[in-house]
Structure 1
């Protein structure tokens, strides 16, 4: 027999077994309160965590004053009550008898010798007996144990026994069944698969870092086998197959999933994971292993018919292998097909197919699929790329045609298929060039601009002087790529070169569409006139070209101060284009709505744009919606949300090398940093903005660059530089019409620099625009605000301040009002400044709040940081209330998405707050945060 012993506290928490722990705690409380025995039984598969839960129960019982008995130990430590024992020492006494069951030689021992010792322990208090893997006991030993439990039923004795699923059989099973039906016996819920969030937490505990999605994908395959999950994490560290940087654990030897279109030859997986999966597969029957490997060749998902044809077996013969694979969690059954439960499982199974057999099996699959009447060639092409030869014209033609067919609906799959097809086709031949053109276009849509440019360059090099349809198509593709990369001048040069050849459509690429799109970002006047020529007879143009021309017109009308006509033009553009091209008018429409502070309508346009980009799988434009959202959030006064969205968009731009949104992103980040009072960051963003918008007054974002640079310079005390930058934006007409609602800010800066003459011109221009567009009240409001600043009329500003939708602009109006009233009405001035300070504070505009506080001090009013509680620079007390809420939820194990749902904010905002929390607490991971959270 063994007896009480201290249970060591595990440094890693038990995850995902809350329901079982609560049941165990209830049984312990019941036994201690009623002074009656309880039996807890748990039956679960091997590796599911039975032993870990048993140890948690022992620790829980010990904390509640129970004497804890481990039924498989050899020695009997000192049996004093738990509260009086040393926490980590045991004083062994003479060896006692073992529990019922096998000894070291496998012989059974009786339970009778336990009774006296247990009664001695029970006289001192409640006792927990823990017996792991009870199925190893033979029937006679189980009979003795059951009898002992019944004899001690009137004592506070809790038995917690675990049993492996599928054991035992025969007489032992009958005894366990009888024990399980005892009136004070309860069965715990079996330890099933862990939720993905719990797997992530366990992996983070074991790795002391947040697992990267590629690594987490491997861990989630072991959600039913906790022991294997532990072995995987420890093994990857031992193999140096992971690296930890910035608190994130990443695989060092691959791990990226293959493209969905081509189902074979997936990316490699770590040797340790492959070994664990080989062990799992090795426990299956030989027919099941054979069936799974053939199924893996068919793809990560497959139909019963395909599998039956490949194995040349009737469906009935597959029932048993399929049932075994489903029961073991290798496959999942859907309504019409089967799929490997997780992608890495499929990859591991496929890795077990000998390479020489892969080509033959792919050829067999392609032959079967192509032989079917009315069958789609898509799946056949996915197999042909792994077995076709350069002289196999039929196979290459199938691959070429299928890749082109997939271009619109599935560009990522089209790219994968076309790129692999290029490797088979004769270099420079018609099939090779056709697939290269498809690959280039698809890669652009997917956001792989560098790879697309490489392929386009190869086509140009393989054609004489880049001529002919293929060469011109490649140059048109390069023009698109350069446009998206931000090299606008090179894009225009390439489109001009192709247009000079007389062909406006090359290989499906419309040169006019590319040229018109470039005009939106270059201000090219010649192209603007070309747009009007197109719209003179739009019925002679394709819908996409007409749509692009309408967008060019909308931009021109906006710049001319004709706001309503600009909106009408952009709406006409959105109604004429296809799904992908329609992104451009929606983009422009959202930008125009945002600049007029019509934030709800802008949100609707952005949501439509997001849906369009996602449904068309145009990843290259994925940075556009968060860029627009960042500006809308800035307009709503949500500085943290604006920074989070802009940071997310920057990450997407860097992934795809998409450069078009960069100026707008650097500008919004400069403004958010400026309002928070972080001048260093604001100046860094201005330098990045100047780099992405070179000195070119025709660039559409040149005025944005000048305005933002001027505001940051003024905040830094560089008034002369600020004035110079504002005047460099262009003439007064251009300055005002680029951002009419922002005119008061320009007037304020000009007056501070002593340029009342220019300020007067600016005011007259905004009044002209407001009068020409009476349907937009915000324009009249901005004009009245600017005129009141020029006339130093604080009362006029007070009448309009509350009508602004932008809380920061509203706060600036209140501040303007207070400043102008200082000399004539001190009491009203103080009231307005106090309102301005509160408004700034509500949106976290710390720099502006401090400035207004200084103004109030000059008026003799001292207010101590208003509602701000002073905080240290680091540590838990340095967190804001929102940061503290985020930190506590993350420490509880919630993902960013769940935290966002809890706090009614976006996941990107959660990520932004989390970065601030890590910085203030000097931690690098969620694991570290969980340890610090009170």
Structure 2
């Protein structure tokens, strides 16, 4: 029989010539252009996907590709990154060593970081040889592999990396999601395999039987419905029947069932145990389920391999096709299956496997009240939470279902479930589940624990008032463990940071911090410091906020972005840059999207508009990737202002629309105020001064603390709108706000300079505007300095002091132009024209949209580095930025230069006159 199976190995190619040529064309394209590609082979089980993939892989290997080939497994679809593991660990030249992969999977807790490391390994290989990553049965890919597959093809689109996937047709399934993510970014091909024609099935039969196919065989093959695997199995069964003079039983799976009946009972039982374990399983594990030693099952193993049912690679056994496994599995009575899965879970854990390896069997076999299964699910959820929080939440949901309502364990499991759901961004689901548990009248200690667990959920949902109410209720009821009481007190202080009485909030925060320190609870300590940092920011006390956030990041490094931004608020850009450099060297444990937010704020403050735009674009993409939007509204507000400074009104409006759409999803006071301010800026730009003034007034009324957080550096713009609208009282209120902020931050040049600028504008005070410019010389923010110089220049013009006005305006125009704020520079130029000083127009010239000169300074640096052979990682290391930001810049470079690969980019750069 082994010979029969071998002769059929290429039979699935009958009738697939056109599909194979389509794949061959994509292979050639990737090899020739040096850019990426993706192919998906779809069809029903047994239709020939695996055979077609194998032939395409063989052709790619013959064309010089480095190949990584793997297969996802139905019963192993939970283990993080297990599906892609085979693709990167096996082959003639594995992309990663086993040790490196273990380090990747175990020691780092960021999905984005992990995927970037995979990208670096593949990109490094693709620098010398085209790479093919092939994954069979993608519909069973584990969640982390699915996440990676949606990111990697686009991330590696500029390298010769070809992705080939096979999958069943499932609407909105993993395969379609991967293709959708890649579409528009790199060439994609979907090959849908339908039933083979009668002629192709006839050729297949001739290949197998080696003779003309008679009418009886053709009638039999009609039952295969054009499915080549089923046809092959029927033909194999026919040969078996002919050899033994047995009648061939009727039915679609005649070959499979026929061969199973011919096996020894011990072999069939061994196969059934293997089918319970999965398509790929360990010989000792199957023997243990049989209740036998491996030595007594060698004969059964040999018979299964001879029958063409199993393959043996020396490490594991695997059913030759999943339909074979399913046929064996289907013959096990359903009640026996559940019991066997329970036994399999128990054995795997006893044998030293990780809890996550036992989870698929728990999900199929556990019964309510099975506390061992619940414990395994909890351990597995803890293990996968850092990289697949959604899976952790699902596992905990199942664990809770297994705990009967009357068991005290239910509340502990529910607490863990809430935390997992919140981590996964499923806040509404977490709150609903928590409220159901609370309705079950838990003991006081469990009640307090559940309310503390819901604290992060409520904060993420911007329900500060509800958070305060629940924390105070739980504290008043008593009965909480000391550490839980400390956490509740800290959560209360965090909620009070959104209140008008920030003095009371600060007192609550200090009390909570003392309690957390005394008890030694790290989570309470983090919450208390976070609340105190928020309170100080909302009070406009930037130095105090820095002190709190620095202490917070010392306790929990994930909060380093908050410390960096706090440094910026006191004009300490040197320290923020030092911390950013530190993170660039070791970003594995950081919140990468928030680090990009901090980097964007840093670049924006220094007037690097191009780099800031790239930072915020990248940040938004990473937040979209993990589906946890935090700064999306604020990023779009800033990007819209950047576009207006550049003079790109269309892009500015698009960002405004995007900000408004995101506000509808996350309508907290801060986001609302930010969007209202942006609407005011756009209304002014469109000549609707009354509307602009109304929006500014809304901002002032939106929340007292927003005066400090939103208008810290933009108050001058709001004052100009108020003055243009003849709303002098509003302008005075804004100026008083700037004065109060300066009083809270007397050592911050930007704060004191803006306060003087505000008073100078409101009172038309030339001396105060001059003082503003002097104070702001110590500010590291060129756009702020430029705006103050422009205001001074206009006031000097009005006073008839043209020479001094021209000097101030020329200085302002230069700073705006150097930052890329071409529209702002053009407005200043118009004032210069009015003063009779029209020189220097070239300084306001905008970049073209296509070609080398369309590239920003950072894009040119990256283009040259990549042309010299650098990977994203090595270019990022040289420029001390995130590889994600390099990818954003590189994508822009390819678009502006109309190139599709690094090879094309290198050729273009080499042809430049100054190269």
Q: How does the TM-score come out when normalised to structure 2?
A: 0.58
Tell me the equivalent position of 2:459. 483
Q: What pairs with 1:218-229 in structure 2 (closer than 5 Å)? A: none
The one-character-per-residue Cα deviations of 1:539-574 (angstroms, maximum 9, x if unpaired) are: 566454355344444444455554444433444555
Residue 675 of structure 1: CA displacement?
1.7
Distance change >3 Å, CA 489–CA 748, structure 1 → 2 = same
Determine the C-alpha separation between the residues in 1 that align with 2:123 and 2:598.
41
Q: What pairs with 1:454-533 in structure 2 (closer than 5 Å)? A: 455-456=433-434, 459=437, 463=440, 477-478=453-454, 480-492=456-468, 494-495=470-471, 498=474, 501-502=477-478, 510-521=487-498, 530-533=508-511
Residue 634 of structure 1: CA displacement?
1.6
**2:822·2:846 contact (CA, 8 Å) conserved in 1?**
no
- Residue of structure 2 aligned with 1:214, choices 149, 166, 169: 149
Determine the C-alpha separation between the residues in 2 that align with 1:377 and 1:214.
24
Determine the C-alpha separation between the residues in 1 that align with 2:734 and 2:810.
29
Determine the C-alpha separation between the residues in 2 that align with 1:745 and 1:240.
48
Tell me the equivalent position of 2:817. 841
SS at match of 1:860: coil
Q: How does the TM-score come out when normalised to structure 1?
A: 0.57
Residue 469 of structure 1: CA displacement?
6.3
Distance change >3 Å, CA 887–CA 782, structure 1 → 2 = same
Distance change >3 Å, CA 760–CA 405, structure 1 → 2 = closer
Relative contact order, higher structure (CA 8 A, sep 6+): 2
Residue 248 of structure 1: CA displacement?
5.2
Determine the C-alpha separation between the residues in 1 that align with 2:174 and 2:622.
29
Tell me the equivalent position of 1:592. 566
1:442 aligned onto 2:453: no
Q: What pairs with 1:791-830 in structure 2 (closer than 5 Å)? A: 791-793=765-767, 795-796=770-771, 799-822=774-797, 823-830=799-806
The one-character-per-residue Cα deviations of 1:3-26 (angstroms, maximum 9, x if unpaired) are: xxxxxx98975766999xxxxxxx
Q: What pairs with 1:682-831 in structure 2 (closer than 5 Å)? A: 682-683=652-653, 685-686=655-656, 699=669, 704=674, 707-730=677-700, 737-738=708-709, 740=712, 742-753=714-725, 766=738, 770=742, 773-786=745-758, 789=761, 790-793=764-767, 795-796=770-771, 799-822=774-797, 823-831=799-807
**1:679·1:712 contact (CA, 8 Å) conserved in 2?**
no
Q: What pairs with 1:53-64 in structure 2 (closer than 5 Å)? A: none
Tell me the equivalent position of 1:645. 615
SS at match of 1:615: coil
Tell me the equivalent position of 2:196. none
**1:295·1:302 contact (CA, 8 Å) conserved in 2?**
yes
Determine the C-alpha separation between the residues in 2 that align with 1:505 and 1:402.
23
| Structural RMSD (CA) | 6.5
Determine the C-alpha separation between the residues in 2 that align with 1:453 and 1:610.
36
The one-character-per-residue Cα deviations of 1:343-375 (angstroms, maximum 9, x if unpaired) are: xx9999999995769978866665556557xx6
**1:872·1:878 contact (CA, 8 Å) conserved in 2?**
yes
Residue 425 of structure 1: CA displacement?
4.7
Tell me the equivalent position of 1:162. none
Distance change >3 Å, CA 230–CA 439, structure 1 → 2 = closer
Determine the C-alpha separation between the residues in 2 that align with 1:886 and 1:706.
37
Residue 851 of structure 1: CA displacement?
1.0
**2:342·2:361 contact (CA, 8 Å) conserved in 1?**
yes
Tell me the equivalent position of 2:372. 395
Determine the C-alpha separation between the residues in 1 that align with 2:692 and 2:551.
39
Distance change >3 Å, CA 672–CA 909, structure 1 → 2 = farther
The one-character-per-residue Cα deviations of 1:616-647 (angstroms, maximum 9, x if unpaired) are: 8xxxx664333333322221223233333333
**1:815·1:833 contact (CA, 8 Å) conserved in 2?**
yes
Tell me the equivalent position of 1:632. 602
Determine the C-alpha separation between the residues in 2 that align with 1:17 and 1:698.
51
**1:473·1:507 contact (CA, 8 Å) conserved in 2?**
no
Determine the C-alpha separation between the residues in 1 that align with 2:708 and 2:770.
27
The one-character-per-residue Cα deviations of 1:819-874 (angstroms, maximum 9, x if unpaired) are: 3333544344334433322322222212212212222222334457515767766x
Determine the C-alpha separation between the residues in 1 that align with 2:463 and 2:436.
20
Specify every segment of 5 or more residues in structure 1 that has no aligned partner in the other structure, as ranges.
Answer: 1-8, 20-44, 55-164, 166-191, 204-210, 255-271, 279-289, 322-329
Distance change >3 Å, CA 744–CA 379, structure 1 → 2 = closer
**2:606·2:780 contact (CA, 8 Å) conserved in 1?**
yes
Specify every segment of 5 or more residues in structure 2 that has no aligned partner in the other structure, as ranges.
Answer: 1-23, 35-55, 66-91, 93-121, 135-145, 193-226, 234-268, 303-310
**2:713·2:754 contact (CA, 8 Å) conserved in 1?**
yes
**2:684·2:692 contact (CA, 8 Å) conserved in 1?**
yes
Determine the C-alpha separation between the residues in 1 that align with 2:188 and 2:407.
41
Determine the C-alpha separation between the residues in 1 that align with 2:388 and 2:667.
37
**2:64·2:130 contact (CA, 8 Å) conserved in 1?**
no
